[in-house]
Structures are given as structure tokens and as C-alpha cells.
Structure 1
Amino acid sequence: MAAMTADRSASELALGVLQQLWLGGVRDVVLSPGSRSAPFALALDAADRAGDLRLHVRVDERSAGFLALGLATGSRRPVAVVTTSGTAVGNLLPAVMEAHHTGRRVVVVSADRPDRLRGTGANQTTEQAGIFGTFAPCHDLTAAIAADDLSETVWQACSASGPTQLNVQLDGDLLPSGPTPEDWWQRPDGNLAMAQLQAGSDPETGRDRATAQLQPGGDAGVRPSVTIPSGGELLPLGPRTVVVAGDDAGPAARLLAEAAGWPLIAEPTSGARIGRQALRTGRLLLTTGLRDEVERVVVIGHPTLSRPVTGLISDPALEVLSVRGRGGVATDPGRVARVLDVVPRVEGPDDRAWFDRWQAADQRLSDLIDAGLTAAQGDPSQTPDAGSPSPLAVAAVVGAAVAADTTLVVGSSNPVRDLDVMAAPWPPLQHRFVVGNRGLAGIDGMVSTAVGIALGRPRAARTIAYLGDLTFLHDTNGLLIGPAEPRPNLTIVVLNDDGGAIFTTLEQGGSRYADAFERVFATPHGTDLAALCAAHHTAYERVDDLSRLAQALAESHSGTRVLEVRVSRADRRTEAAWLRELAQQAVSADHSEDHSLPLE
């Protein structure tokens, strides 16, 4: 590596940063082009040609940031994203915010003008050091940084939970002096990486090996070797307890519920919607009298999908225990929980009658929902849009397609909530990976995130992304992939109801706001997705029936393709009321009424 001296050139500084990133476990780097970042770009191209790093070039920094987020999520390694100076850096903020709230290790390498130009009005010069504020610590690096300091700074960025900004001041000649690419990149000595590993931190997980199993987060698939830590607090049996598993809860939530015999309400992206204790319709059952019998709640992960769950874990009348996630935050929106550092444990199972009641109600409610949807689909007079499948039925098909070794990336808004009602708990020990950007639960960057996750998990049998139309359109630049770039095998299912259907189920969807609703909430767009995909050279198919959707999702497809499923949003509010009514009937075991899906 180049000597660490005050007169190190811009290309030597850039090379030194990249070499330290490699030593810190970075194997994927996303680059957006620019002049100030030129020494990074040329060194990265040379490293990619040498097979030491995999380079992904994106012209849109916002898309680049979410691609890096997806790569970090899929590979469970730190991933770097490199930008030039100015507004390019600011475009990374949404991805950095999501990485902060989910503990994803995204290392922002922002090329900058030298400090002497700040505040002078020099072209593309701004206060970009620390631009992400509390969301990412910043290290403002200059050519004078000592070798040991650079090594320690970059290593911390690669191993810490969450994003970090390395703002690199590049001065003078930006192009490397070496005549060939072999001079622009040299793979560093691996002995240093081994020494750092032996010091205790693992670049693949970013955690000390001795404590990694104590954390609730992790791969949202199943890791059979994971056990409930013996050092966790021992919970007494007796109080009627429910385990709530939110996003990134991991297998520990399932193992606790199974050990105690408690009902498990697990969101699709929890990594715990698996096995015998998981309920399919748990959040709907929380709208019934069963919820009033709960005495204790154990919260693992980050639950975000429903008001009934939020109300449960915010109830001061209950004993609420919340376990810190990988970022050190325990989900406690009502500020009523007792916070635990690790997942608690139990000695033996609790009274089985408690779970049996939940399980029986869950089965009855699932049967009622499925029967109602079948009746509606078979009766054209009950469908508001001829030939249009129910969004719930579409979610059921997507959930059933998540077979062993499948990756599912699910978007925010209605798709993940539909899946939460329709996806039956998956069998254990089959290594599924179901994830979404639930840190802030936004629709930002989901196409790019899905592309990154697919590229980060190349051994998956297949990767499916399930997105709403606005989520898809919000990040169509995720399809903007150059001909020389790595391309994923990815099937994107777009549930297209021509707008924001989720708002119809909220207060603003009521008749009082009907005159304004369509313009300021529903936001219909009428976009031709087939033409959009054609413009991006992306395979496209419109799917009009559920059997074809199931068939398409079972196919082995090479490259990226989009399956558009058009549905109506006219009856979403009625549908929500229907689900609540069925939940009441399931708990009371009253099957005498007509349970077909009512439509306006």
C-alpha cells in the first residue's frame, strides 16, 4: 500500500481507503460516476477486473444507495457506495436513514473538495462532511491521515451496526499516475484481515463472535443452530402471554414461543413466521375478545404493520417486555415496556389451553377468509372489475410461492399487510429469506433494494419482489442497469391498483373526505407498465388469473422480469371491515351467517 504521508496523492488516498474496505470485508461496491470521485472509479474498475471486488455502477445516486442497502441485506456483509461531491451525496439520505434504523452496514464514501475550498463558492463544494447528521457518523479524511488511523477508521465503519460516512478530501491531480490498471489497484495483504478477525470482530456479521447469538436480529430465514441464549432472563409461567415478532426478529422469537407454548404473532419479514406456534391471522384476532385476555407481551424485532399490534404493545395495563434489536433500540411506542438486552427464556411449556384457543380461532378465521374469497372470485357479479383478482388472493399466491431457499422482498403499504393476513406460516428448516425495508416502512428505493438483495443471495433458488404500483414507480431507476453490470435473476410482481389503496382503509378514506381523496391521497397515474419495462429492456407480462401467477412464480427465469397483476381498490375499505367481522365470528365460532366477501 502507498506510504501514508501528508503529500500522498489523491489517487493514493483513494486506493488506501479501498484497500482498507477490502480488509474490512467489503466485496461489493456501488459507484455513481463523477469527476471528483475519479480515482475511486478507476481503482474500482481495476479491482473488479482483477476479481477482488464486484463493482456495480449506477447513474442515479438515490438508486445506488438502496442498491447498496439491498446488497448489505442479502450478503450480510458491509457494502460501500461511492459518490462524487455536491448533491450526489445528499441523494443517499433516504437509504442511509433506512440503514440506520435497520442496522445495515452501508459505508458511504463521498469524494469531496479539499477543506480550503469550503465556504468559498467553489463549484460543487458544500458542507457534505456530516451531512447525514445523527443517521451516520462521519469521518472527514485527508491525505495526512496516518496509516494506523485510516485502518482503524475504516475497520470501525465496516464492523459497526448501521451506516457510516467516510468523507474523503481529494486534492490536486485526481487521476492515478500508473500507466496500466494493474497500477491503479493492488490487492492488500490478507494477513492484516486475519489479525483483525482474531481480535474478535467478524466482517461478515459486524459483531463479536462471542455475542452474535445473543442478538434477536439476523437472517430472516431459519438457522437451526440458533438457540435461546442461556443468559436471558427467566420468565415465570402463568401470565397469559403472546409473543410479537416484528421485522428482523429472527428465529429466537419462534424458539421462545415454541419453548413456552405461547401464541406467536409474527410479521412476514420477522423471520419467525415459521412453525407450529405462528398464527396466520394473529393481528386480526387482536380485534376480538381474545386480546382482552392477554396479560403479558414479549416484543422481539420491530413490529410496524397494524394498529391492533401497536395498541397491544403500548398498553400500560399489560406487562410488556421488549428486546433490543441489532441497532440497540427496543420497540416501545407507548413507553410502557421493560427493555431487555437479550431474548428471555423459560423452563418448560405453559398451559396449552391458552395457545389452543388462539390456534382454533386462527384456523376458523383462515377458513372463513379463504371461503369468502373463493366465493367472490367465482361470482362475476361480486367483482368490481371484471376478471380482476382480489388483492388478498394475489397475496396468498405469492406467499405460497415462497418455497424452500426462496427470497421474497416485500414492499411497504398494502402488499406486506395482505401477506400478513394470507401467508400461512412456513415450515421450518427450509432457509427462506423474507425481507423488506421496514426500518422506516417507506416505499423508497424498493426496486433497487430488491435488485441488491437478489445479487447478494446468488444461491437462492429464486428471488421474488412483491410491490405495489406506486412503490414500483417510485424507483423505476432501479431498472436502469448498464449492459456491463451484474444483473440479478429477479421476478417483480407489481400489484397495480392505479394509486394508493392503503389510504382508503384509514380515516381519510371516509366519505367526509371523498371529494379530495382521489387527487391528494389515491393519486391515480395511469402509467403503462409494459411500455415502461420495454424502455428499460426488462421482460414484462400482464397476468390476469391466479393460476398463471402461481405458474409464473414457479418458473426458473433468467434475468429480471415484471409480472403486472391489475386489481381494483374500490372495495378496500369494505374488505377491511369484512375481515374484522369474520374475526369476531371466528372467535365466537358462529358459522350460521353468510361469510361471503361484501363488495360495494
Structure 2
Amino acid sequence: MSSNGWISDTVGACVAAGIQEYVVCAGARNLELVMALSRYAESGEAGEVRVFSHFDERAAGFFALGRTMESGAPCAVITTSGTAVAELLPAVVEAHYQQRPLVVVSADRPSRFRGSGAPQAIEHVGIFSKYVEGCEDLEWADTLTLFDGWSGKLPWHLNICIEENEAQSRLSKVRVGEIEAAQENINMTPVFDCIKNSWKGLVVLLGGLEPEDREEVWHFLRDLGAPVVADSTSGLRETLGKLTLVDGDRILRENPPAYVLRIGEVPVGRYWRDLEDLPKVNVVSISRTGYSGLSRESQVITGDITRCMRALGEISSVGDSMDHLKMATKRRGKINELLESLPESEPGMVRMLSVMATMGSSLYLGNSLPIREWNDFAQREFPYELVRANRGANGIDGQIATWLGATTDEENAWGVFGDLTALYDMGAPALLDQVQCQGRMLVVINNGGGQIFGRMPQVQEMEAEVTELVTNEHQHGFESWAKMWNMDYVRIDGMEGFDFEPGDKTTVVEIIPNKRQTETFWGKFDAIG
């Protein structure tokens, strides 16, 4: 492909660095970048270059994050200058903690404008702080080097200063620097120590796993035979059968084991936070990202999960030395009875929804209440093919956009979100024209606010006016939103409403739990012992 100047060559270097997908947020400043990218995409000379577009940088960033989750490959967002770049910070933070290769390509005003207060001239360089692996500040020069020292696994920022009338004939020698893959040195001794001392009590907490790691982890857990508290995002919650601890958070808080082995992402459940105040419980983590998830002392093995599992070799069964599974069996029956007796409570509706969602090809769970209630109350008989979530920073922003990015080419994709989460991301459906919508189900559990805060003891003791402020109570519905973006709509405020089927386009399913049944459920659930 013939050169059209240094901007075009810079885009070519991005493609050469392995970035084949881009989300464009167009503006006057990045017009040359967008035009050059369009030429690469149309020519096909650099392989398949895929370009998406969105008007909102925040949603675009989360959509790009979803693309990296699905493919494992980098995806770049191209922004214009000014506050447009700042809108990407939430997605970059999430990508940092998930260790996903989200790339920001920001068009900037020339460096001489910095600190001047001129329009669209904010400080781009360093805006993402430690949340990007590197930031390259580029202005025209005879020779430019891009992505020097990038691992290809973490966020990266490419800031490109462009003149008002950038002459396309100005050329640079643009090259891709050394992309340095991190080396892994795996020492599994802490895990062997857990197994050796399992007679004192050993429980596995299973967080989110990459799809390619699930089979090896499943074999390890079946051989180990220890009790497991499995998050839905592990993909193994429904396949571990009798090894799974139902109501595990409360059982472990009341009967803490001597050892906790965490595999995968930081677990969703409350017991993980309780470990902060249980220093006598030895915690060992096997983590792709290397984050301990705790402020207290613990041991972390960082590396590819599959490699770690294989490094353990053949494992003998250790069983359940503290009878945690017997306790869980009793509670399983009580919880099932409670769900059946109060089917229109929020947990009861989540149980019914979880049965319907087995029709889908994938499942995305939004923060904060949906993922927790799904872990605790969803059906356990039939596995879901693929379960995803954003659990890096645990935020509720950008959830719908992330789901759309992660399931761009999938039919029958299901996403479950809270009402405030949906309100945060109301512009994300602008992307629907660019994704597969056959059988797509966008479920919103509308309980009138952030009711997860209402379950907190300190909030329950507050005056009603303060509680309303904390929970952001509202009376909004989502039918008009569905109509605005040409989505089908189904409202469910009773069990008979679950008689629906996916259609040819995206369907918004608004679930409205019975408030009285929900309050009764939680009162009886808290009394289960």
C-alpha cells in the first residue's frame, strides 16, 4: 500500500503490531487517523482490519475491552483531543486489572499548545497514570518508533500530535519496537503445602477463568476432592456437582478452614473480604494477573493457569476434613424450599431466569447485585457454555458496552444487568447495528435502585431519607429505552411473564421483582442456620 504521509504510516505500524480491530470516535482532530484507517480496512492488504464506531468514548472503550476479552488480541480506540481522551479512563482501569490489551490512540494538538488553555488542549500524556503499561508521545520526526517495550498483554497509550493542516506528504520512517512477552517462573510449592496440610481444613475459592483454562482446573478439582466455592465466571459452577459449597460464604465464615486456595480472578463472594480479618487462614492464590486481592499477607503464584495446573502433576484426593459439604447439603434444601415458596422475590426470579438463560450461547453478568445473586441462587443442573463479567475493578459502568464487544459475532447472547447499571450505559445500544442481534437478550432486573446497599446493616439502620440517597431509588422503566434503540421489549412482573422466546433482534427483558416477597425472602434467608 502506498504511503500517504506519516499519519498513514503510523496507522500501518499499529496494524503491524497486531492491532486488527479499532473502535473509532471520530472528530476533527483525528480525521487523518480515521481516513488512514479506513484506507487500510478497505484495501485488505494488511489482512482483515475491522473498524467499529461509536459517538461516546466511554462506551467505545468498554466495547473495545469486550473485544479483547473475546479474542485475546489487542483492540484500539481512536479518539480526538481534549476530554474525549479522559472518557476512556474507566475502561483503561478495568483493562489494567484484567490485564487486557486495550490500546488508546489519541489525536492531540501539537505539544506547543500544552498548558496554554487553548481549545481541546488538555494534558493527554500521563492521563492514564499507572493504568497503562506505557505512553508514547509522538510528533512528526524523521524516525518514529511505536510500542517499544509493550508486552502486548496490558493497556498502552499512543498519543499523536497532529497539526491543523497536516501535510500528507510529510514522511517518517515508522517502525514497531520490541514487543516483550513476560517470562514466567512458576513455583508451585505453596500449593503443595496446602495439600500436605489439608487435614487442617482446605477449601478452594474459584474465581473467573479464561475459557481455555477451565478443563485443566476441572480435572484438578475433581482429583483434589476438596470443597469448592465456584463463581459463575469460572464456568465450572454447574459442573462440579457435590464438590460445590452452597451458601459457602456463610458456612466458611462460621467454620473457617486453615487453608484457602484461590484459583483465577478475585472471587465475588463476601467470604473473600472476610479473609481480611482472618489472619490465621492461610491464603494461596494462583492468578493470571498476579493480584492478591487482599491487603493482608498471602501468597500469590502468577502465571498461565493451565501451565500451573499441569505443573502440579498427579494429585491425590484430600476430601472434606471439616464436613463443609455436609453443612452445605442441609442448606441447599432449605434455600431451594425458600426459592420455591417465594418465586416472585428477586432471588426467585433470578432462579427462573437462570433456567431460561440455558437457551443462550453465552452469558454476561453485570455488577453488582446480578452477579452475586446468580452465584447464590441460579440453577446448578445445566452448565452455561460461556460466562463473562467485568471484575477487574468491580465497577458498574460500561457493562452493556462490554457485553456487546465480547459477543459481537454471537447469536443468542444473554446479558443480565441491574437497573442502575443499565442507566449508566444507556447509549451503548447505538452499537447494535454493528453486532449480531439474532436471539440477543438484554435483561434488566429493575428493583428501583441500588438495593445491594439496602442489604448492608449500617444502611438498614439509617433514616429513610438517607437510605434513599444511598440506594438511588427511582421509578424509571425501560420500555421507552428499548423503543428508542429499536429493541423488542418484554416486561415480567410475575412468573407467568417468563413465557417468552428470543427473536430476530435484541430483546429487552425488564424483570420487576415483588418487593414484599423479596423482603420476606431475605429475612428468612438470613435466619437459615
TM-score (norm 2): 0.86
Question: Per-residue displacement from partner, 1:116-161 (whole Å, max 9, x unpaired)?
Answer: 22223332112111111111131111221635x23x53xx54x433
TM-aligned CA deviation for residue 375 of structure 1: 1.8
Aligned twin of 1:447: 400
For 1:117, the aligned partner's letter is F
Indicate the SS of the match to 2:280. coil
Match of 2:527 among 578, 581, 586: 581
CA contact (8 A) 2:75 2:102 kept: yes
In structure 2, relative to structure 1, the CA distance for the partners of 1:572 and 1:304 (3 Å cut) is farther
Provide, for residues 167-207 of structure 1, a one-character-per-residue CA deviation record: whole Å limited to 9, x for no partner. 011125247579xxxxxxxxx9xxx99xx9xx997xxxxx6
Change (3 A) 1:436 1:407: same
What is the deviation of 1:433? 1.8
Tell me if 1:523 matches 2:477: no
Give 1:536's aligned residue.
485
2:95 to 99, 124, 132: 99
Partner of residue 475, structure 1: 425
Determine the C-alpha separation between the residues in 2 that align with 1:543 and 1:238.
Answer: 50
Contact 2:96–2:155 (8 Å) recurs in 1: yes
Partner amino acid, structure 2, of 1:348: I
Go from structure 1 to structure 2 and tell me whether the alpha carbon gap of 1:164 and 1:402 turns closer, same or farther (over 3 Å shift). Answer: same
Deviation at 1:59, TM superposition (A): 0.7
- The alignment status of 1:237 with 2:186, answered yes or no, reads no
Structure 1 SS opposite 2:5: helix
Q: In the TM superposition, what are the counterparts of 1:395-410 in structure 2 within 5 Å? A: 395-403=350-358, 406-410=361-365
One-letter identity of the residue aligned with 1:38:
L
What's the secondary structure of 2:417's corresponding residue? Answer: strand
Distance 2:38 2:348 in 1: 46
Extract structure 1 runs of 4+ deviating beyond 6 A.
229-232
2:367 corresponds to which letter in structure 1? S
Correspondent of 2:281 among 291, 294, 318:
318
Establish whether residue 29 from structure 1 lines up as the match of residue 22 from structure 2: yes
Q: Secondary structure at the match of 1:480?
A: helix
Alpha carbons 2:220, 2:315 under 8 Å: kept: no
Separation of aligned partners in 2, 1:50 and 1:363: 61
2:9 alignment counterpart: 16
Please give the alpha-carbon distance, in whole angstroms, between the structure 2 residues aligned to 1:132 and 1:200. 20
1:422 to 377, 386, 391: 377
Structure 1: how far apart are the matches of 2:19 and 2:251? 49
Secondary structure, counterpart of 2:463 in structure 1: helix
Q: CA deviation at 1:164?
A: 1.0
Once the 2 structures are TM-superposed, how far is the Cα of residue 487 of structure 1 from its aligned partner?
4.9
How far 1:479 moved relative to its partner? 1.3
1:547 to 1:257, Cα distance in 2 relative to 1, 3 A: farther
Alignment correspondent of 1:39: 32
**Separation of aligned partners in 2, 1:473 and 1:425:** 30
Name the amino acid aligned to 2:370.
Answer: P
Give me the CA root mean square deviation: 3.3
Distance in 1 between residues matched to 2:341 and 2:225, nearest whole Å: 35
Say whether residues 1:299 and 2:262 are aligned partners.
yes
Larger mean CA deviation between 238-247 and 126-135 belongs to 238-247
1:390-423 Cα offsets, whole Å, 9 max, x none, are 2212222333345488211111121111101113
Counterpart residue type for residue 21 of structure 1: C
Q: CA deviation at 1:371?
A: 1.6
Rounded Cα–Cα distance in structure 2 between residues aligned with 1:30 and 1:290: 45
| 1:412 has 2:379 as partner | no
Counterpart pick for 1:376 among 342, 350, 354? 342
Report if aligned partners of 2:493, 2:513 keep a CA contact under 8 Å in 1. Answer: no
C-alpha contact (below 8 Å) 1:38/1:175 kept by paired residues: no
What TM-score comes out, normalization by structure 1 length?
0.76
Residue pair 2:225, 2:243 contacting (<8 A) in 1 also: no
How far 1:270 moved relative to its partner?
2.8
2:156 paired residue among 153, 157, 164: 164
CA offsets, 1:49-105, max 9 Å, x none? Answer: 345322111111111111111111122211000000001001111111111111111
Unaligned residue ranges in structure 2 (runs of 5+): none
Which of 236, 251, 255 matches 1:288?
A: 251
Q: Measure the CA separation in 2 of the matches of 1:234 and 1:260.
A: 11
- Rounded Cα–Cα distance in structure 1 between residues aligned with 2:411 and 2:435: 18
Name the SS of the counterpart of 2:427 in structure 1: helix
How far apart in 1 are the matches of 2:297 and 2:459?
Answer: 31
User: Which of these residues, 401, 413, 419, is aligned with residue 463 of structure 1?
Assistant: 413
List runs of 5+ in structure 1 lacking aligned partners.
Answer: 4-10, 179-187, 202-206, 216-228, 378-388, 585-600
8 Å contact kept, 1:280–1:423:
no
Indicate if the aligned counterparts of 2:442 and 2:508 stay in contact, CA closer than 8 A: yes
Instruction: Report the counterpart of residue 385 of structure 1 in structure 2.
Output: none
Matched with 2:141 is 144
Q: Give the one of 321, 340, 350 matched to 1:354.
A: 321
Contact 2:209 2:233 in 1 (8 A): yes
Amino acid at match of 1:396: R
- The 8 Å contact of residues 58 and 87 in structure 2, kept in 1 or not, is answered as yes
Fraction of identical pairs, as percent: 26
CA contact (8 A) 1:285 1:291 kept: no
- Cα distance between partner residues in 1 of 2:35 and 2:233: 38
**1:204-248 CA-partner distances (Å, limit 9, x unpaired):** xxx67x96xx99xxxxxxxxxxxxx98985344342211111234
